[in-house]
Each structure stands twice: as C-alpha cells, then as structure tokens.
A and B are shown apart, each in its own frame.
Chain A
Amino acid sequence: MPPAAATELSGAALRRTILQQSKRAGVGHIGSALSVADLVAALYGGVLNIPSPDHPDRDRFVLSKGHAVLAVYAALAIRGIIPVEQLDTYCGDGSLLGVHPEHVLPGIDFSTGSLGHGLSFGVGAALAARMQGSARRIFVLLSDAECNEGSVWESVMVANHHALANLIVMVDANGQQALGYTDDVLSLSPLDDRWRAFGWDVHVVDGHDIAGIAATIGRLDTTQGRPHVLIARTVFGKGVSYMERQIKWHYSPMSDAEYAQAMAEIEAGG
C-alpha cells in the first residue's frame, strides 16, 4: 500500500466523503461517522501498520461500532485499499459497502453491526498474535453506549486476565446513543474509572486531536503489561454545527439545504 499524503487523510477529507455518500445514498448514521472521523484518520493516517490488506502480520482493526463504517470506507479509499469509485456503490444493490462492514471487502478484518461482538474478536486476535510471536497489534473501536452490552465486559475481564498488552481499545465517548444521551439512557459514568477498575491501562484523550491520539498510542507498551483503552472524548456530529450533539442525526438523512450547509462548514473548518 503506498503511503498516504498527510493532507489527504485528514478528518476533513473523511467528513467530506461521509457527507457526500450519505447524501447520495439518502441514509443516516451520519453523526456517528463524523464522531469517529478523527480517530479513524489517526489510525489510517499512520498508526495502523498495514503492509498489505492480507498481510498476516498487519495490525488488525475491528470497528465494533459498525454503523460508523462510512468513515472507514473513506479512509480505505484514500489509502488505495479500495478504489475511490467503489464508494459510489455505498448502500447500492449488490454492493459490498453496506451500512455495516463486511469482511469480504478488502481492508475490513471483521464484519460487525451487532454491538458487543467486536471486542471478543479482538481478544482472540490478540491471543493469537501472542501465540504466534507476532508484534502486530489489535485495535478495536467501541462506542460508549456499546458498553451497555454485557458481552463487552466479558471481553474486558478476559483481556485483563491474560494481560493482552497488544490490544488497544478506543471508546468513541460522544455521550449519545440511538434514543438519547448515555447518561439518561443507561449511565456508565465515570467510564474511565470503570475500565480502570477492570485493570486496564486507561488514557482519556481528545478524540478530535489526531496528532494527540497518534502520540498517545505511540507511547503505549504493546509488548507486555495491561491492555490499553483510550477513552476518546468526542462530539457526535463533529464538524457540522446543526448535527453536533443532536440525537436526530443518529438516523436522519440530510435535505439538500442541510447538505449544502454541512459541506460548506467542512470546507470552512478544514
């Protein structure tokens, strides 16, 4: 895979594709994809070691909150793992680019879409890497509301027990879920203390500071010790003023006027 130019794989570039394709396909989940755009930009902009999409020792990435995968499709296109034109099949008939990721698509390591599954895949992948003596790392991106799922905490316990230092979780902590704010629906506050109580190495970061995210990950010891979690404080709908922190934008598609305003704000915000 050719190295991507830093200017190409920016949060703004991912947001541009997220908005374009959501508008073209007439579908929602826009706010969630915008929320993780900078985390995904950090991963595909240099954090993930992917010599090729099927290299056995590539870092693995599990997008456990599969409904935000449009941000990943955008990154895969910029990195040249999928053709840019393939983005235009998003949500189309016979497409591999659905609203949730399919592992059949090059660059997608694991299929997801049902919350609470991805971290268990990551635990097994991390155990496998250790057994194989590989230095590869396993990244799993969860949503904060996904931590409602009891299965997440099964995996949290097992990862800690087996000292899976090669496992790096990022929690997209935007404080929202489908029908409301997480503290109103099913509070997990303080989220960082809960992960700490389960024995993890916890880092609270600004989920929109790409350089800061990459720097934090770069300092982690992934060879021994505890598993790592970045509680990434994010803004749902980040970059589009009328979407930010608004529950409506978990599901709603954009009107023409809303689309024009959103694109203008992304271009202005860079």
Chain B
Amino acid sequence: MRGAFVRTLTALAADDPRIVLLTGDLGYMALEPFSERFPERFFNLGVAEQNMVGAATGMAEAGFVPFAYSIATFAALRPFEFIRNGPVWHRLPVRIVGCGGGFDYGPQGTSHHALEDLGVMRTLPGLTIVAPADHRQMATALAATWDVEGPVYYRIGKDDRTEVPGLDGRFRPGHAETVREGEDVLLLACGSITPEATKAADALAAGGVRAGVAVVASIQPAPVDDLVALLARVPVVLTVEAHVVSGGLGSLVAEIIAERGLGTRLVRCGVRTAPDGVSGSQAWMQAAHGLSAPALAETARAALDRRAG
C-alpha cells in the first residue's frame, strides 16, 4: 500500500506542481521515487511532527498541497492538536499520511501500533478520512481524493502484494464497496486487515453460512446510505478493524444502526484490552485480538447461534 501511495503521488506530482511531500524522518526505502524525482518538493523536516503539520498548514495557505508522512501513531496522535488547529480549523488541503494503521508494525511494539487514529480523527468535522484495504484501492483512493477541499487523513498499510478478492481497486468517496454477497451475516472491514474478513467469509461459506463482505475505506464522509442499505438485508453484522472498538468503524456502524433505528445486531471485532507488553508479527497480533480469519468466522457463528437460540 505504501508503495502504491508513493507511486501514485509521484505520478500526480508530475502533473501538478502544488504537491509537496514532507516526512518526519521516516519512509526509508519507500519515499525515494518521489524524493529523487522532485527533490525541490521533498522536505525531511526531522523528527518533529508538530512542526511538520504546522509547516504543512503554512504551505497550504500559500497554495500548496502538502502531504505530511510518518508512522500512523506519530502522524495522527502526536500532533493531533496541530491537525485540529492547523488544516482542520483553517480548512486547508493538508494531507496527513499515517503508515501502518493497525498492527502493521507488529514486532515494533505498542508505540508503533496505531489503534486509536481513526477514532480521534473521526472527531474532526471537515476532515476526509481514507483507510484503503489494499494497494490497488490505495492508488484509486489517492487519485480520487488528493485534491478534495479541506484536509485528508490517509491511514495506509505497508503490504503492497495482498489483494482483497473482488475489490479490484474500487473506491468512491462516501461509498462502501461490496466484494462478496451473502444474506446470513455481513462483515464490514477497513484497512489492511480486510483480507482476514474475506477469508473468514470463505470459511463461513464452507460451513454453509452465506457471509457478505463490504469494504469501508471512505470512513469520512461515511457511506451512510450504502451501509443502511447493506445492513437492512442481514440480521447480524460484524465490523472488522485493527483498531480499538471505540471510535472507529465499529462505532461508526453503531451510530448508523442507532440513529436509523435498524434492527441489525452488531458485533464489533477489534481491540478491547490495554497494552500488556506482549508483541509479535502483524498476523500474531491480529490473532491475539480475535481478528484472524478463523476467529472472525467463529465470532460470526457464535453470533448467529445466539440469535437462533
């Protein structure tokens, strides 16, 4: 996803001189396609994320479209007030790029696990939030949103190989993308964990459960109408996110179910516990929090059993 981001941004920058890339001294072996082609529009501003976001605001006021890149925790959480008081308050086209949303940085440990970024970013009206599910959707989503009015937060992953079956890179702002039909249970996923949701749907299908899957990469603006339509067709929905269960996709769907008075039962799959010092690979971390495909399938079966019982 990160490679797709940089390739797409570099191609866009060739056509639009307003695009500038800033980094907080991260992106080794990733940002070079841009930095080598456009050295005059690339700034490593050092390990100083607050200044980076403020500086991006100053550049945007002058007409540039700056992308401010770091690991998601450092891009979104450290300078949160600068994002609020800078591009959000000033309604300027700064793009915050958080790499490694979720457990992508697995063994790097708790400091590098971005599990709260969607939640805090969703508190900011006027901020577009995009969390692509794979590298093809990353490219499409960036091309579709890089020039929108106001600021954007991109929550991106590191995996540039895995593809979500049936997604084919589709992305539309304010819409959900269905990748698999199924009327027994619906899995809604965002970000790099999405392949676990599609594998869980495969496992459920093998057991005779018809599971649908839709990708919610446009977190803000939220695909409210699409989700209402999807939720109306199923008795049970699982939200699947490498994020704490409050504030992110699960909360978004809960808000829609409650505000629209829908009868769908919601099961939020995500992180529910405080950091305990234990870390491992991305897959291991995801499994430890019940987010592996087998665990998701089991959660879906249990929810359906409860309903039947």
Interface residues of A (CB under 8 A from B): 56, 60, 103, 109-114, 116-117, 119-129, 131-132, 138, 150-151, 154-155, 157-158, 161-162
Choose from A111, A113, A120 the contact partner of B53 (Cβ within 8 Å). A120
B contact residues around A56 at 8 Å (CB)? 62-63
**Cross-chain contact A128 with B58 (CB below 8 angstroms):** yes
Q: How far is the CB of B41 from chain A (nearest CB, A)?
A: 8
**Cross-chain contact A120 with B57 (CB below 8 angstroms):** yes
Q: Per-residue CB proximity of B43-54 to A under 8 Å, as 1/0? A: 101101011111
**Cross-chain contact A123 with B40 (CB below 8 angstroms):** no
A114 with B57, Cβ < 8 A, contacts A120-B50, A128-B63, A157-B46 known: no
* CB-CB contacts below 8 Å: B52-77 with A: 52-64, 66
A interface SS class? helix
B289 in the interface (beta carbon within 8 A): no
Please count how many residues in chain B sit with their CB below 8 Å of the partner chain's CB atoms: 29
**Cross-chain contact B58 with A127 (CB below 8 angstroms):** yes
Question: Which residue from chain A places its CB closest to the CB of B41 in the assembled complex?
Answer: A131
Nearest 7 Cβ contacts at the A-B interface:
A120-B54, A124-B58, A124-B55, A128-B62, A154-B48, A125-B58, A154-B51
B90 in the interface (beta carbon within 8 A): yes
Question: Which residue from chain A places its CB closest to the CB of B81 in the assembled complex?
Answer: A114
Give me 10 other A-B pairs in contact (C-beta within 8 A), A124-B60, A154-B46 excluded: A56-B62, A110-B57, A120-B86, A124-B57, A124-B62, A125-B61, A127-B55, A131-B64, A157-B46, A162-B43
A158 with B46, Cβ < 8 A, contacts A120-B51, A123-B55, A124-B55 known: yes
**Cross-chain contact B51 with A125 (CB below 8 angstroms):** no
**Cross-chain contact B61 with A121 (CB below 8 angstroms):** yes
Of B20, B43, B45, B81, chain A has the most CB atoms within 10 Å of the CB of: B45
Of B51, B59, B66, B90, chain A has the most CB atoms within 10 Å of the CB of: B51
Determine the distance from Cα of A126 to Cα of B64 in the docked complex, in whole angstroms: 12
* CB-CB contacts below 8 Å: B9-58 with A: 20, 40-41, 43, 45-46, 48, 50-58
B contact residues around A138 at 8 Å (CB)? 58
A contact residues around B40 at 8 Å (CB)? 131
Question: Which residue from chain B places its CB closest to the CB of A114 in the assembled complex?
Answer: B85
Q: How far is the CB of A137 from chain B (nearest CB, A)?
A: 13
Determine the distance from Cα of A231 to Cα of B39 in the docked complex, in whole angstroms: 35
B contact residues around A161 at 8 Å (CB)? 46
B contact residues around A122 at 8 Å (CB)? 58
A contact residues around B154 at 8 Å (CB)? none
B89 in the interface (beta carbon within 8 A): yes
**Cross-chain contact B46 with A125 (CB below 8 angstroms):** no
B contact residues around A125 at 8 Å (CB)? 58-59, 61-62
Q: How far is the CB of B17 from chain A (nearest CB, A)?
A: 9
**Cross-chain contact A103 with B90 (CB below 8 angstroms):** yes
A124 with B89, Cβ < 8 A, contacts A154-B48, A157-B48 known: no
Q: How far is the CB of A53 from chain B (nearest CB, A)?
A: 13
Choose from A110, A129, A158 the contact partner of B48 (Cβ within 8 Å). A158
Q: How far is the CB of B157 from chain A (nearest CB, A)?
A: 28
